[in-house]
Amino acid sequence: MIRVRKIAHASYEMPDPEKQIEYYTEILGLSLVERNNDAAYLASTVDHHSVVLRRGSEARCTRVGFEIAEDDDLGAFEKQVQEQGIKTQRKNDPEPTIAEMVTFADPKGTTMEVFKRGAFSGQRFQNKGIVPHKLGHVAFHVTEVKKVTDFYCDVLGFRVSDWMADFFSFLRCGPDHHTINLMETGSNRHFHTAFELRDWGHLQTACDYLSLNGYKLLWGPGRHGIGHNLFAYHRSPNGLITELFAELDRMNEELGYFEPRPWHRDRPQRPKVWAKDPSASNLWGILPGEEMMK
């Protein structure tokens, strides 16, 4: 099957995109690369845009963009999706630098945007703000975790990296431990969007910078058990939660285990079902407060 290889961008709607643009450029340190009447495009890396912002009645993640490989055929991918009984749409020049895109809805109503990378269009990393390496993953609350997990695996070619009991799945589409994660909680909505930082030092600088600018942490810093990433969470101006992380597990697909690290308990660390145990959430022991679940 043709598998998506990488998360490219996530698109959001919110009542006050201006405030969110200010947050993304001044605090997170993404560059505003393009703006039109419809949307604002923000970049952090080789992707022309990692984040797209639009005005809407409530803050939510509406679309997630994924890349297939250069030598994969988009038409063949579309056919493969249709063979699963899913209705697709083909779009030409839908977004800057994207020539062709196949879109379809996942079972919780988020639009999947699948395409091939366009030519690099010269965007640069900013030199103010936190400046993450990249968009790492988007996490969702879902009502039917098994069904949505199967969709990402069967239609988009994701692999399961880990489960927490039977209610929280962590899915990869490349070497990173998770690109999409799905937690069954009784509603379908955005949980958090995560950006990768260099290391622990960068995370400390980021937490201080957030604090100087009036952003308090919701949870962390800590080290997750599942994925083993260092993490710190805060809430962005329109209410959407941002995670900053470093040292996420990376899969060696040929060997079937994650690159060994001193903080692993399993040797080697393979995909598994974790018990619903506090250390699966935070090896350092502090659990999230209620604010994380709002």
> What type of residue sits at position 107?
P
Least separation in angstroms between CB 25 and Fe ion: 22
Region from 7-15, 23-31, 48-56, 187-195 binding Fe ion, contact rule CB under 5 A: 187-195
Report the nearest approach of Fe ion to the CB of residue 139 (Å). Answer: 5
Instruction: Using the minimum distance from each CB to Fe ion, give the nearer residue, 33 or 244.
Output: 244
Smaller CB distance to Fe ion: residue 67 or 243? Answer: 243
Is 3 in contact with 185 (CB distance < 8 Å)?
no
162 binds Fe ion (CB under 5 A): no
Closest to Fe ion by CB, 51 vs 194, is 194
In angstroms, give the least distance from the CB of 227 to Fe ion.
7
User: Exposed, middle or buried by CB within 10 Å (0-12, 13-18, 19+), for 138?
Assistant: buried
The span from the CA of 123 to the CA of 110, in Å, is 27
CB nearer Fe ion, residue 115 or residue 245 = 245
> Scanning the structure block, which residue is given the tokens 């993450």?
132
Interacting positions 191-210 with Fe ion (CB under 5 A): 194
CB 152 within 8 A of CB 3: no
Alpha-carbon distance of 272 to 281, in angstroms, equals 15
- The binding track of 231-260 with respect to Fe ion, each residue x by CB under 5 A or -, is ------------x-----------------
Residues 9-48 that bind Fe ion (CB under 5 A): none
Minimum distance, C-beta of residue 116 to Fe ion, in the bound complex (Å):
27
Cβ-based neighbours of 59, under 8 Å, separated by 6 or more? 12, 13, 14, 15, 190, 238, 239, 240
Closest CA to 113 of 135, 145, 91, 83: 91
Which residues 6+ apart lie within 8 Å of 104 measured at CB?
Answer: 81, 86, 87, 88, 89, 111, 112, 155
- Helix and strand numbers (H, E) in the chain are 5, 19
CB of 170 to Fe ion, least distance (A): 9
**Binding to Fe ion, residues 57-96 (CB under 5 A):** none
CB closer to Fe ion out of 155 and 194:
194
Please, what is the minimum distance in Å from the beta carbon of residue 230 to Fe ion? 11
Binding site for Fe ion (CB under 5 A): 194, 243
